[in-house]
């Protein structure tokens, strides 16, 4: 019996929470011992960060960062009245306030009075009654039937994000050393990444592609950006044979809160364009894979409807012949007339190419990539 208890893998939430606390305690002990030694150890730093992240993920998975709450009485009455008019019977309503600030509503629904409402209609009723936008989750049935089934609806972002990309390869290359990725890793959370491997061609592409893939997978799994960067950089820095430095420019965009986290390692500036005003987010850090201890710039910005995030690779700025390239690029951004992200990206790159001495032959001296992300109010 003792053997079964010792090796039983069906851990309860309490066991997992206890395990998370142990990991945190171990991380604190590592930190204390490192402070006592008064010497820098990059491997120890990386272990500490990773232990803390695993502990945080376990707590989040077990629901430690979520709590059950209740609807306001008037909101619930309005919702139930709207359901009744649409021929929907409801019971067992649960409202969960998630760690990311969004509400998740779970309830059992069935169609009555020979009605056939869709989950999209239900989401609309919830949005109107609760004065916030809700969306049906992927596992819901498309339509209600005469039996009670559980349906889950999630509060969604107030913004829609649209993206545009324009790129040119270095003259003579069919493969770009720039790698980009735009992915919604969870509902309302989008990762936009642009990595540039040193040099151009196949090897640079392979290195930059690896960094983007690893970062995306780590953030999708729930790791914070800092821990993900530490892990990837450690792997690259010890790879003395094949590893080459890679600049990384990443934006984690939360369309629910309208907040963007910018992470930059050796990357050129990122720009936020709002009406006639442009903000510059700069970095003075080294690329990933150069040092054992990674140094990165981390900036958080509040965004609003009709804001545009413009990310570029260094080849774009290098193509500008003026001495003050950033000042010249600001002038280009100010003169952009398009409001569509795709057309805006093409307009920016075409304008830069027109300034370049090599524009007639369309022969860039480096890979060039422009990514424009526009934020628009969700209707």
Render pLDDT for 176-235 as a digit per residue (tens, 0 to 9): 778 888 988 777 889 898 887 666 667 767 777 777 787 777 777 667 777 777 767 666
Q: How many CB atoms lie within 10 A of CB 202?
A: 13
Give me the pLDDT at residue 43, please.
58
Question: What are 137-164's pLDDT values in tens digits?
Answer: 888 999 999 899 999 999 887 789 999 9
Six-digit token pair at 298? 């981390």
Contact indicator for 105, 75 with CB cutoff of 8 Å: no
Burial class (CB in 10 A: 0-12, 13-18, 19+), 131: exposed
d(Cα 371, Cα 183) in Å, to the nearest integer? 13
What per-residue confidence (pLDDT) applies to 5?
38
β-partners of residue 92 are none
Q: Can you tell me whether residue 260 is helix, strand or coil?
A: strand
SS3 assignment, position 96 = strand
CB 375 within 8 A of CB 303: yes
- Ordered alpha helix ranges (H), the chain: 2-6, 13-37, 42-61, 73-85, 119-130, 201-221, 225-237, 314-318, 325-335, 341-355
Please compute the mean of the pLDDT values over residues 351-362 and round it to a whole number.
73
Could you read off the pLDDT of 274-333 as tens digits, one per residue?
A: 987 999 998 776 666 555 556 677 889 999 999 999 999 988 998 888 888 889 999 999
Q: What is the mean pLDDT of residues 60-88?
A: 81
pLDDT tens digits, 165-178: 999 888 777 777 78
Mean residue pLDDT across the chain:
79
CA distance 270 to 250: 10
pLDDT at 331: 93
Cα dist from 42 to 37, 54, 238, 293, whole Å: 13, 19, 11, 6
Question: What's the pLDDT at 265?
Answer: 82
């Amino acid at each position: 019996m003792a053997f079964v208890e010792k090796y039983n893998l069906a851990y309860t939430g309490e066991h997992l929470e206890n395990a998370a606390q142990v990991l945190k305690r171990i991380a604190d002990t590592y930190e204390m011992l490192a402070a006592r030694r008064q010497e820098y150890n990059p491997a120890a730093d990386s272990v500490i960060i990773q232990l803390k992240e695993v502990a945080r993920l376990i707590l989040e998975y077990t629901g430690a960062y979520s709590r059950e709450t209740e609807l306001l009485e008037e909101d619930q009455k309005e919702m139930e009245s709207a359901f009744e008019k649409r021929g929907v019977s409801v019971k067992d309503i649960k409202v969960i306030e998630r760690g990311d600030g969004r509400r998740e509503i779970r309830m059992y629904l069935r169609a009555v009075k020979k009605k056939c409402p869709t989950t999209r209609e239900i989401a609309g009723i919830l949005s109107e009654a609760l004065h916030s936008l809700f969306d049906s989750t992927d596992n819901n049935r498309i339509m209600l039937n005469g039996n009670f089934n559980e349906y889950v609806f999630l509060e969604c972002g107030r913004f829609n994000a649209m993206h545009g990309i324009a790129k040119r390869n270095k003259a003579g290359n069919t493969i770009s050393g720039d790698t980009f990725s735009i992915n919604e890793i969870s509902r309302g959370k989008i990762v936009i990444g642009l990595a540039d491997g040193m040099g151009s061609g196949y090897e640079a592409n392979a290195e930059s592609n690896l960094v983007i893939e690893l970062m995306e997978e780590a953030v999708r799994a729930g790791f914070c950006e800092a821990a993900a960067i530490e892990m990837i950089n450690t792997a690259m820095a010890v790879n003395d044979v094949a590893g080459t430095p890679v600049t990384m420019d990443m934006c984690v965009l939360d369309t629910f809160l309208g907040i963007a986290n910018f992470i930059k390692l050796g990357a050129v500036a990122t720009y936020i364009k709002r009406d006639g005003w442009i903000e510059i987010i700069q970095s003075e850090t080294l690329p990933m894979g150069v040092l054992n201890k990674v140094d990165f710039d981390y900036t958080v910005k509040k965004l609003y409807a009709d804001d545009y995030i413009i990310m570029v690779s260094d080849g774009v700025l290098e193509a500008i012949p003026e001495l003050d390239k950033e000042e010249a690029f600001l002038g280009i951004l100010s003169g952009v007339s398009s409001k569509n992200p795709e057309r805006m990206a093409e307009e920016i790159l075409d304008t830069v190419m027109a300034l370049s001495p090599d524009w007639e032959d369309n022969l860039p001296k480096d890979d060039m990539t422009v990514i424009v992300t526009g934020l628009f109010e969700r209707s």
